[in-house]
Structure 1
Amino acid sequence: MQKEIVIIGGGIIGLCSAYYLKKEGHHVTVVDQSNLDAGASYVNAGYLSPSHIIPLSAPGVMKKGIKWMFNSSSPLYIKPRLDSDFIKWTWAFNKSCNANHVKKSAPVIRDISVLSQKLYEEIKTSERFTSQYEKKGLLMLCQTQKMLDEELEMAKMAVELGLEAKEVNPTEIKVLEPNVEINAIGAIYYKCDHHSTPHEFMNEMKSHLKNAGVNFYTNEKVIDITISDQSITSVKTDKQTLVADEFVLAAGSWSALLSKKLGLNLLLQAGKGYRINTTEPTGITLPSILAEAKAAVTPMHGFTRFAGTMEIAGINHKINKNRVEAIANAASRYFPNIKISEEEKADAACGLRPVSPDGLPYIGKSSKCKNLTIAAGHAMMGWSMGTATGLLVSEIISDKKTSLDLNPYHPDRKF
C-alpha cells in the first residue's frame, strides 16, 4: 500500500531511506534545514569499512577521554559542560566501555557494513552512477610497536568474523604504496574495505531522487511536531505544515532535539569531525588510518582528503584551528614528503556526527510513537552504514521482514 512519507533530514541516511521507500512505490518528501551541500555526509572520509568493528565506546576510551580533555588537539576531545543531556550520555557511554559490549557489537557492525557495501554497488550499477567507488582495501599504519600490537589484536577479531585482514611490514607497505614515502614500522591491510568520494554520490543520489519524483524542501527547519494518540499528525517547519502517514527521523545530530518534542529520550551527542583537502599530487592510492593520530587519509577524485578527530562539544560548526593543525601535522609525520599548505588548512571544513552512547545507531520504531521510524546515531559509521540503514527503514515502513535483526539498534534500548 502506497504511503505518504516525510523524511526529516537529507544526509546520507535520509537520502538512502528516500531511495528505497520510493522504490517501494511510496510518495516521499525530504525536508532539511540546510541546502544539502555540506555537513558530515559531505566531509567524511568516504570509507565503507567493515573493518571498523570496534565501537567508539571501547575499553579504555573514557580513561583516554579524561586525559585528553585538557588538550584541544587530541584525537578525542570531550568538552565538559553542565548539561543534563550531556551528563546522561556520558554516564551511558562510560557504562558501554567494556569488552563484553565490544564482543556483542562487532558482528552487528560487520553485518550492517557488509550489507551496505553490497547495496552501494547495486545502486551504482542499477542507476548507472559514475561516482567513485573503489575496492582497494585500507592500511592501518602504525609508528609504534605498542600500537601495532593493539591493531593486530583487532585484526585477529576481524579475521574471526570473516573479514580479510593481514599484517604487512614496511617492505610490503612499499609494494602496496610505491609512489609515496611512508613513515611506519608496520600496518594491518584490510582488503575488505572500500572507499568513495562522498559529494559525488550525494549529488548523483539527489538528482536521481528528484527525477524519480521525490519532493525536496531545503533550508526549512522543523520547529514543531503535532502528536495525537501516540502518532504524529503533522510536522511544522518555519515555512509550512507537512502531513503524512509515516515519518522518518534522520536528522543526524539534531535528532535528539527533535525527539524531545515526542517525549523520547534519545541519547545523542554531536561528534565534530574535520577534513582538509589537498589537490597537490600525493602519490597516495590506498586509503589509510594513521593509527596513533586517529586520522584518516583517502585518495578521492581529483584530490586527497585528510580527515579525523572526534570533538564532543555540543552542536556548533566552529572550526578549532588546533584540531585542523593536528590533522595536518599527522599527515606530515606519516607522509614526510607531504605538506599541507596554509591555504588548504584555512579551507578546512567540519561535520557533526550523531554519536550514541554505545556506538550503535538507532534504527526502528519507538514504543512511544507508532508512525515514526528513527534512523540516527551512526557516529563515524554513517557513510559505511548508509545504504543498509535506508533499506531497513524502507522494510520497516513497508511492513516487510527486515534484512537484519533490528534488536541491537532498537531506539528504546537501555544503557
Structure 2
Amino acid sequence: MKGKVVIIGRGIIGLSIAYRLVEEGYEVIIIDENPFYKAASWNNAGLISPTFSALSPSIGNLREILKWIFIEHSGIRISFKSLFKNAHWVLRFIKESKKAAELQNMKLIYDMISEAISWYENLSNKIFINFKKDGLLEVFLDKLKFDKRIAFIKKYPEFNKYNILSEKEILELEKSLNQNVCGGIYYYEEYSLDPRLLMQNFTELLKKLSVSFINEKAEYFELTGNYIDYLITDKSKIKADIYVIATGAYRDIYKSLKIRLPIIAGRGYAIITNSKLKLEHHVLGGDYRISFANTYEGNLKATGFLELADVHDEPMRKCYDFLEKTLIKYFPSAKGFGIIDKWVGSRPCTPDLMPIIDKLKENLLVCVGHCRIGVCLAPYSSKLILDLIERGKHDIEQFLLQRFL
C-alpha cells in the first residue's frame, strides 16, 4: 500500500476519489455520518453533458443567475436569512457576476466532462448505472427566453454540438410535450445515468475493492503546526497519512482549522411521480431550468432549483410546488399524477460556481464546490486530488483557493 487516506464525505466526489486512489494502491477509508442517499448526488438530474454544461449560465454568465434570483417564477431562490448570514459570499458572487463570460473556464468544463464520459463508460462495464447516450432537449415555452438563449449560445461557436429546432421539430422528437412549445435546442452528444443506481452500486463496488466505510461524524482535526495528526469523530480518533475533505456544502469540519471556505448550500429539489409517461429524451425546461426524465423504474421525475440557503434549513414547500406546476406546464398529459417521493439535497456553491481543489495543510486536501455538476466533474476532480497527493500540485489554477484570498 502507498499510504492510508481518509476521505470525509461519501457523495459522488468522495466515492470517485476513493475509486481513483484504491486503483492506484492506496488504503482508503470513507467517513460520513450520513448514508449515501442523503448526499446531493443521490437525486440529481443524472446528466453528463459537456456541451450544455459549458454553455450553462451557471458557468458562462453569472449575471443571468443574478437576475434570476430576483424573479419570482424562476428556478433560483435565496432566503433573506441566508442573504444576511452569508453576506460576504453574496458580495463576492456579485463581484464575480460583473466579469464577462470566461471562455477559458467554459473550455475547461467541457474538457473535464468529456473525459468523464469515458470514465462512466468504463465504470458501467463494472456496475449497472443505466449509462446511455440519449441527448438533451432544452425546450422553451417563452419565445423571448428562447431567443435570448439562442443569442447566448451563438457567442460560443467552439461548443456547436447542438441543433436549433423549431416547434414542429421539437414535437417530432418528444411528442408528449406541451403543444405550445416555441422551439428548443437538441444537444446530441449528451449522456445520462441514473444517480441512485450510481450511488448505490458504486458504494458496493468500493466495498468489494476493500474501501472501508465508517458511519461517524467527523468533528475536528488535531494538528501539530501545519500537519494533521488525527481526525476526531464523535466516536473515535483516526490517524492517516492523507486526509481529504469532500463534505460538499457542510462546513463544520473547517472550524478547527480556522479556515472559512466561501461555500454556500445551493439546495436542489426533486420529485418522483407515479406517472409512467415515457420520455424519449432527457428534457430540460429552459424557461425555468428544470430537468425531466424517467427513473430506471419508468417513473416521471422533475429535478432542479437552486435555493441558496443553509444546509440545516427546512425544505420549502413552495419549491416542491414549483416543480409540480412546472412539470404540468411542459407535460400537460401528466396532470393528475401523484408524488411518491420528495427530496432535497445541498449542493456546494462557491462565488464563481467553480470547485475548490487544493491543499489546506501539509497532509490535508479539499475537494468541494462543484455546485450543480458534481457528477460531471467528479472523475476529473479525483484525478486532481491524486496529483496533489503524488506531485504536491495540480495544473488547474482556476480551482485553487488562492483566487478567493
Same fold (TM over 0.5): yes
Of 189, 192, 195 in structure 1, the residue corresponding to residue 189 of structure 2 is 192
How far apart, CA to CA, are the structure 2 residues paired with 1:101 and 1:261? 36
Residue type matched to 1:215 in 2?
S
The unaligned stretches of length 5 or more in structure 1 are none
CA contact (8 A) 2:272 2:301 kept: yes
How far apart, CA to CA, are the structure 1 residues paired with 2:66 and 2:393? 37
Alignment of 1:242-391 (within 5 A): 242-254=238-250, 256-302=251-297, 303-316=299-312, 318-339=314-335, 341-344=337-340, 347-366=341-360, 369-391=361-383
Superposition deviation, residue 74 in structure 1: 4.2
Provide the secondary structure at the position in 2 that maps to 1:119: helix
CA contact (8 A) 2:78 2:308 kept: yes
TM-score when normalising by structure 1: 0.90
Compared CA separation, residues 34 and 116, structure 1 to 2 (3 A): same
1:231 pairs with 2:227: yes
How far apart, CA to CA, are the structure 2 residues paired with 1:260 and 1:84? 20
Residue type matched to 2:386 in 1?
S
CA contact (8 A) 1:55 1:106 kept: no
1:61 pairs with 2:62: no
CA contact (8 A) 1:232 1:371 kept: yes
Match of 1:8 in 2: 8
Provide the secondary structure at the position in 1 that maps to 2:362: coil
How far apart, CA to CA, are the structure 1 residues paired with 2:96 and 2:254? 22
The unaligned stretches of length 5 or more in structure 2 are none
TM-score when normalising by structure 2: 0.93
CA contact (8 A) 2:17 2:385 kept: yes
Compared CA separation, residues 319 and 83, structure 1 to 2 (3 A): closer
Of 125, 138, 141 in structure 1, the residue corresponding to residue 139 of structure 2 is 141
Residue type matched to 2:378 in 1?
G
Residue type matched to 1:372 in 2?
L
CA contact (8 A) 2:131 2:194 kept: yes
Q: Give me the identity figure in percent.
A: 25
Superposition deviation, residue 317 in structure 1: 5.7
Superposition deviation, residue 108 in structure 1: 2.1
How far apart, CA to CA, are the structure 2 residues paired with 1:237 and 1:30? 12
Compared CA separation, residues 401 and 262, structure 1 to 2 (3 A): closer
How far apart, CA to CA, are the structure 2 residues paired with 1:182 and 1:226? 61
1:96 pairs with 2:96: yes
Provide the secondary structure at the position in 1 that maps to 2:352: coil
1:120 pairs with 2:120: yes
How far apart, CA to CA, are the structure 1 residues paired with 2:337 and 2:176? 20
Provide the secondary structure at the position in 1 that maps to 2:292: strand
How far apart, CA to CA, are the structure 1 residues paired with 2:302 and 2:45? 8
Compared CA separation, residues 392 and 11, structure 1 to 2 (3 A): same
How far apart, CA to CA, are the structure 1 residues paired with 2:187 and 2:356? 27
CA contact (8 A) 1:13 1:389 kept: yes
How far apart, CA to CA, are the structure 2 residues paired with 1:175 and 1:5? 51
Match of 1:205 in 2: 202
Residue type matched to 1:249 in 2?
I
Residue type matched to 2:345 in 1?
G
Of 383, 386, 391 in structure 2, the residue corresponding to residue 394 of structure 1 is 386
1:52 pairs with 2:56: no
Deviates more, 1:35-44 or 1:96-105: 96-105
Query: Paired residues, what number?
Result: 400
Provide the secondary structure at the position in 1 that maps to 2:154: helix
Superposition deviation, residue 96 in structure 1: 0.8
Superposition deviation, residue 329 in structure 1: 0.6
Deviates more, 1:97-106 or 1:194-203: 97-106
